[in-house]
Structure 1
Amino acid sequence: MSKIDTLQAALETVLGSRIKRIVADRGELTLTVGATDYLDVARTLRDSPELRFEQLIDLCGLDYSAYGDGRYEGPRYCVATHLLSITHNWRLRLKVFCPDDDLPMVASVNEVWNAANWFEREAFDLYGIVFEDHLDLRRLLTDYGFIGHPFRKDFPVTGHVEMRYDAEQKRVIYQPVTIEPREITPRVIREENYGGLH
C-alpha cells in the first residue's frame, strides 16, 4: 500500500462522514470538508494519533468565479490549507468552501495552528474572506483606506484609485485612476522554418 493510500485510509477512518470529497492527484491528497465541520476537522487532523498534522505550511484564498471557462457551479470562495505531519511524513491539502458568496466566511484555524494568523489576514485582505473568531483580522498587504479585494476575479486590473505625491500639499494623495483601459493583443511572428517544417 502506497503512502497516499495509507493516508487516505486513515482520513476515511478518523473523519468518516465529515469528508465531502477526497481526491488523489499527482501524488497529493486534497480533502474537502463542509464549512460547519472545518474547525472540528482541523483539530482532529492535528490531535488524532493516526494523523498528527502538526504544522500548517500555507493557507490561501481562491476565487472560483471564472473556473472552467465559467462552467463551474458552486460556491465562489474557497480556503485551501496545506498541512504537514512530521510524525508520519504526510502532506495534505484541506479545502473548505465559503457557503455565502456575498459574505464569504469560515472559521479561523488560528487557535489550532497559530501559523494561520497572517495567512488568514492575507486571504481576508486579498479575497475578502472573513475568518470567524480571528482575534486581529485586518488588512495586511493593502493600504488601510483601500477599497475592494484585489485578488477577486472581478476586481479591475487598473484598480479604482491611484496615489501620487502632491508637491503643493507635500503629501501623498489618492485620485481616480487615470490609466486608459487597453486591450493587449499579442503579435504572432513565425519564422520561415518554424518548428522544422519546410
Structure 2
Amino acid sequence: MTTKIEALELALKNALGEGAAITVALGEVTVVVKASDYLASMQKLRDDPALRFQELVDLCGVDYQSYGEGTWDGLRFAVVSHLLSIEHNWRVRVRVFCPDDDMPLVDSVTSVWRNANWFEREAFDLFGILFEGHGDLRRILTDYGFIGHPFRKDFPISGYVEMRYDPEQKRVIYQPVTIEPRENIPRVIREETYGMK
C-alpha cells in the first residue's frame, strides 16, 4: 500500500520526467526544475489530471548568498512556489534557480495562474528577480524612487537613500543616508538575586 506522499511523488515523476529533481523531507515534497523547463513544468503541474495543482498559494524569491553560513556554492537566486491541488488534497513546493546571478531571470507563470502577478512583482521589488513575459513588472512594496532591492543579503541595513519633507522646498526630497551606524552593547545584569522576590 502506497502512502499519499509516495503517490504524489510517483505522479510528479510521471508528469515531469527526468528533468525534475524530487525530494521528500519532513512530510513535504519539493521539486527543483531547470529555468528552461520552468514554465512548461508549471503548466503540466496544473493541467495533468493526476496532479491538478489548480491553486498557486505562494511565490517568493530567495537569496542563497550566505546560506548555510557561507557553505552554499550553488546559484544565488531562486523562485519558490507553493502549489495546492484541491481535487487530490496535496501540496508541493517548486523551486527554480535563476541561471545568472548578475541578472536573475526566469519565466513568468502569470499565464498559468493569474494571481502570480503580485507575487512576481513582490519578488522583483524585494530581490530584483526579473520575470520574462510578465505584463506589468514594477515595484509593489517600495516607492518608485527606491534604489536597490532590500531583501538581498548584500543590501545595507540602513539603505542607500532616505527621504524627508523639506519645509523650504515644500516637498519630499531624497538624500544620502545620514544615520550614523552604532553598535548596541547589551546590558549585563550582574545581581545574583535579580528577578527573585
Name the TM-score, length of structure 2 as normaliser.
Answer: 0.93
Structure 1: distance between partners of 2:189 and 2:88: 52
The one-letter code of the counterpart of 1:13 is: N
Q: Between 5-14 and 107-116, report the one with greater CA deviation.
A: 5-14
User: Shift of residue 184 of structure 1?
Assistant: 3.3
Structure 1: distance between partners of 2:36 and 2:155: 29
1:128-167 map, 5 Å? 128-167=128-167
The one-letter code of the counterpart of 1:73 is: D
1:182-193 map, 5 Å? 182-187=182-187, 189=189, 192=192
Q: For the structure 1 residues 188 and 27, does the alpha-carbon distance in structure 2 shift closer, same or farther, using more than 3 Å as the test?
A: farther
Give the equivalent residue in structure 1 for 2:178. Answer: 178
Give the equivalent residue in structure 2 for 1:111. Answer: 111
Q: Note the residue ranges of structure 1 that are not aligned, 5 or more in a row.
A: none
Give the equivalent residue in structure 1 for 2:50. Answer: 50
Q: Between 149-158 and 7-16, report the one with greater CA deviation.
A: 7-16
Structure 2: distance between partners of 1:170 and 1:4: 61
SS of residue paired to 1:37: helix
Structure 1: distance between partners of 2:59 and 2:187: 38
Deviations 1:1-22 (A, max 9, x none): 2211110111011111121x22
Give the equivalent residue in structure 2 for 1:11. Answer: 12
Q: For the structure 1 residues 177 and 90, does the alpha-carbon distance in structure 2 shift closer, same or farther, using more than 3 Å as the test?
A: same
Name the TM-score, length of structure 1 as normaliser.
Answer: 0.93
The one-letter code of the counterpart of 1:32 is: V
| Identical aligned residues as a percent | 65
Give the equivalent residue in structure 1 for 2:80. Answer: 80
Q: Between 10-19 and 35-44, report the one with greater CA deviation.
A: 10-19
The one-letter code of the counterpart of 2:7 is: T
User: Shift of residue 65 of structure 1?
Assistant: 0.1
SS of residue paired to 1:22: strand
| Count, aligned residues | 193
Structure 2: distance between partners of 1:41 and 1:119: 18
Q: Note the residue ranges of structure 2 that are not aligned, 5 or more in a row.
A: none
Q: For the structure 1 residues 184 and 5, does the alpha-carbon distance in structure 2 shift closer, same or farther, using more than 3 Å as the test?
A: farther
Structure 1: distance between partners of 2:12 and 2:191: 54
Give the equivalent residue in structure 2 for 1:2. Answer: 3
Structure 2: distance between partners of 1:3 and 1:69: 35
Structure 2: distance between partners of 1:187 and 1:96: 44
Q: For the structure 1 residues 144 and 48, does the alpha-carbon distance in structure 2 shift closer, same or farther, using more than 3 Å as the test?
A: same
Q: For the structure 1 residues 28 and 187, does the alpha-carbon distance in structure 2 shift closer, same or farther, using more than 3 Å as the test?
A: farther
The one-letter code of the counterpart of 1:89 is: N
